[in-house]
Amino acid sequence: MCFGLPMTIIETDGMCALCEYGSERRRVSVMLLSEPPVGAKVLVHVDTAVRLLDDETARLIAEALDGLDAALSGHDCDRFFADLIGQEPQLPEHLR
């Protein structure tokens, strides 16, 4: 399984960018995007920025990753997934 990280560009030369997520910094390719500016939030897979993110989407992805980390560490993760508590998964209509 591969996860994308919502990272923030802190410097770029148009081809590569130094991005950060929490305390992690890494240099990633931004060649799939149209010259994202410093401060832009991007979704990074395997050291490649694959799409621009708005602030809300970046926040939701970061919270989901924090929730996954909490669950894998044996900690309470309900607060990260409050919108899912008490809801049963629903099959698509064609599978019912």
CATH number, domain at 44? Answer: 2.30.30.140
55 in a structural domain = yes
92 in a structural domain = no
51 in a structural domain = yes
95 in a structural domain = no
Q: What range defines the domain where residue 48 resides? A: 5-81
Q: How many domains does the chain have?
A: 1
Q: What is the pLDDT of residue 85?
A: 79
Q: What is the pLDDT of residue 92?
A: 87
Using a 10 angstrom Cβ sphere, with 0-12 exposed, 13-18 middle and 19 or more buried, the burial of residue 84 is exposed
pTM (two decimals): 0.81
34 in a structural domain = yes
Q: What is the pLDDT of residue 1?
A: 59
Q: What is the mean pLDDT of each run of 10 residues along the chain (96 residues)?
A: 90 97 96 96 97 95 92 90 80 88
For residue 96, what are the β-bridge partners?
Answer: none
Using a 10 angstrom Cβ sphere, with 0-12 exposed, 13-18 middle and 19 or more buried, the burial of residue 91 is exposed
76 in a structural domain = yes
Expressed in percent and rounded to 5, the helix, strand and coil fractions of the chain are 25, 30, 40
